[in-house]
Each structure stands twice: as C-alpha cells, then as structure tokens.
Amino acid sequence: MSSADPLKRPPASGPPGPPTCLASAKIKDSHLRRQAIVYIRQSTPQQVLHNRESTDLQYGLEQRATLLGWPSCQVEVVDEDLGRSGKSAEGRPGFQYLLAQIALGHVGIVLGLEMSRLARSNKDWHHLLELCAIFDTLLADADGVYDPKDHNDRLLLGLNSSFTYSTGHYTSVSELVAALPSRPRP
C-alpha cells in the first residue's frame, strides 16, 4: 500500500460547488509558513505552442496550492523553463532557482503536474529529493502529497521516476499498475 497521502475533499455540506480545501495529513504548519512553488515546464517550444492544455493544467496548480492551505500571496509560479528540456539542470534557470529556494529553507511544498517531470536526469532528480528531505519540503502532483523524508514516499517517488525513465510510456506508478494484466488468484 502506498503511503502517498491521497488528496481528499472534505464532505460536502450543501449544494455542490468548488472544493474549499484539500486535506493532507502530511502538510504541517511548518510547511504552510513557507512558500508553495508551482514548477511549470514543457520540453520544447513546440509543446508550449501546441499543448496549451498541459500548460493550462500546470498553471492551474496555483489554485491547487491554495486548496491545500497556502494563501495565494505565498504561492509562486516558476515558469522560466517553459520550452526547455529537463535532461539537465544546466540551462534551466527555473529549476536552479527552485533548488536554491529549497536549500534556503523558503519552500514548504513544490507542486508539479507529474513529479517525475521536474527532472529527467537521475542526478538532478535525486539532488532535488535529497534537498527536499533535508529542508523538509513536500512534493505534490496529481497522485498525492509526498514527504521525501518518509521511506515509503521516497521509494514511491523513486519507482515513479524509474518507470518514467525506463518505459518512456507510463507517467506514473498508478498508470503502470492499471496497465498490468490482472492475475487470477489460485
């Protein structure tokens, strides 16, 4: 069982409408006192031009941060890497800024559409995970909120990243599991 904290909406108390808050037991006051950074990236200028839906979804994570408890004045969007490959931290000023802000202890959570897309290089990915663990920075994507200090979360993030790098097809562990054929029980 995954230790990734699923994002849950509170029970509805009236007519349906937009959620007012997403809950995660992993988010503590110490995280909320720091900044939330929404990291936005697409690999090529062509993707930026032709995949507007993905870009819009990524910008939508700013609202998700507020639903997780961050005041909008503490949510920063880092989009300097739009149109830049994630193969290396070199030439990615947004990613370098993200790492610096984490290392300064200014970041409580980093939000991305898919965590494995933050860095395509294992070296950069593990550097990000290590900094997040040292400086108590959470990571969040569509599948949940992760604490890189937690062994199970780190394992899940590592598996997700490894599957993405090795298969080039599946973008999350949950997507891979869903694609596996079910085994009949003996």
* 120-129 confidence digits (pLDDT tens): 677 888 899 9
- Let me know if residue 86 belongs to a domain: yes
CA separation, residue 43 to residues 40, 82, 91, 99, 125 (Å):
10, 7, 12, 19, 16
Residue 168, pLDDT > 60, answer no
How does the average pLDDT of the chain come out, rounded?
A: 75
Q: Which domain holds residue 77?
A: 29-172
| Rounded CA separation 22/69 (Å) | 8
| Rounded CA separation 5/114 (Å) | 15
What count of Cα atoms within 13 Å lies in the side-chain half-sphere of residue 15?
A: 0
SS3 60: coil
> How many domains is the chain built from?
1
**Confidence band, pLDDT 50/70/90 cuts, at residue 97:** very high
- Let me know if residue 125 belongs to a domain: yes
- Let me know if residue 85 belongs to a domain: yes
- Let me know if residue 58 belongs to a domain: yes
Residues 6+ apart with CB under 8 A from 120: 85, 86, 87, 165
- Let me know if residue 181 belongs to a domain: no
Q: Would you please indicate which residues are annotated as catalytic (active-site) residues? A: 43
* 32-80 confidence digits (pLDDT tens): 999 999 998 766 556 656 677 777 788 889 999 999 999 999 999 998 8
- Let me know if residue 35 belongs to a domain: yes
Neighbouring C-beta atoms of residue 14, cutoff 10 Å: 5
pTM above 0.95, yes or no: no
- Let me know if residue 180 belongs to a domain: no
CATH number (domain holding residue 50): 3.40.50.1390
pLDDT of residue 42: 66
- Let me know if residue 63 belongs to a domain: yes
